Structure 1
Amino acid sequence: MAVRAQRLIELHHSPVAGFQYHQGETVWSMLQTGMSLDLVREPDNAFDACAVRVDWQGHKLGYVPRTDNVFTCHLLDHGERVSAKILTLQTGNNPWDRIEIALFLAP
């Protein structure tokens, strides 16, 4: 019996919110497009009950924006595997333009 490769289902693209407040600048020179990122639920976050933190190798880069996080938050809360990868990295003054990520649902 042939084994079928499992494919990730792309959910959406998103900037990383709050980049300027966390450790993104510290690790900026090590980040590359295509790198995997960790998504961590923060249900006790004082600012957003659906907060989904974006980490790279233990460094907090920011969050999935509040406008984009409800669906992802519910998936994670129900035990689904959601992953993220870096799509684009840009230098510049606007922190919302620094990192764009893609979120995926693993079957």
Structure 2
Amino acid sequence: MRSACSALALLAALASDASCAQSLRLLAQRSPLAGAQFHQLHAVRSGLREGDALTLEREPENRHDRRAIRVLWRGHMLGYLPRAANFEAAAEMDAGQRLSARIGRLTEDQDPWRRVRVDVYVELA
């Protein structure tokens, strides 16, 4: 993710048009939603749409994972970025880098790890 941030910083510097820079972001990772079966996904599933904005919140006090990142939709806790995939995102958030997320894919799979794909973006401007 750091190399992606560096590349995007260069792109941002090259983009002198303010309207272009306002929406500059880079897809940094795609991950399944972890722990959805333990949170509120079932209660809000019918309202979710691919492309919906998600909120990422660091949870450094989490006793299972000090790099935990909560994933919320309209204030509803859906789950977490997976522990195996949250190291760089947590480091970037801790360093003050703005990250955003969207629902990249929704399915009705029996496997809870396949029901929601979270797309995480680095916001450059």
Residues 18-33 of structure 1 correspond to what in structure 2 (within 5 A)?
18-33=35-50
User: Hey, what's the Cα distance between the residues in 1 that align with 2:32 and 2:109?
Assistant: 14
* TM-score when normalising by structure 1: 0.96
- Taking a change above 3 Å as real, the CA distance of residues 92 and 80 of structure 1, as seen in their structure-2 partners, is same
- Taking a change above 3 Å as real, the CA distance of residues 91 and 2 of structure 1, as seen in their structure-2 partners, is closer
Q: Structure 1 stretches of 5 or more lacking a match?
A: none
Match of 2:18 in 1: 3
- After superposition, the CA RMSD in angstroms is 1.1
Match of 1:17 in 2: 34
* TM-score when normalising by structure 2: 0.82
State the one-letter code of the partner of 1:92: D
Q: Structure 2 stretches of 5 or more lacking a match?
A: 1-15
Q: Whose helix proportion is higher, 1 or 2?
A: 2
State the one-letter code of the partner of 1:24: L
Deviations 1:68-97 (A, max 9, x none): 000000011111100100011001211000
Structure 1 segments, 4+ long, off by >4 Å, are none
User: Hey, what's the Cα distance between the residues in 2 that align with 1:12 and 1:59?
Assistant: 22
Mapped pair 1:49 → 2:66: yes
Residues 1-107 of structure 1 correspond to what in structure 2 (within 5 A)?
2-6=17-21, 7-107=24-124
State the one-letter code of the partner of 1:42: E
Figure out how many residues of one structure are paired with residues of the other and give that number.
Answer: 107
State the shift of 1:3 in Å: 2.0
User: Hey, what's the Cα distance between the residues in 2 that align with 1:42 and 1:36?
Assistant: 19
State the shift of 1:5 in Å: 1.4
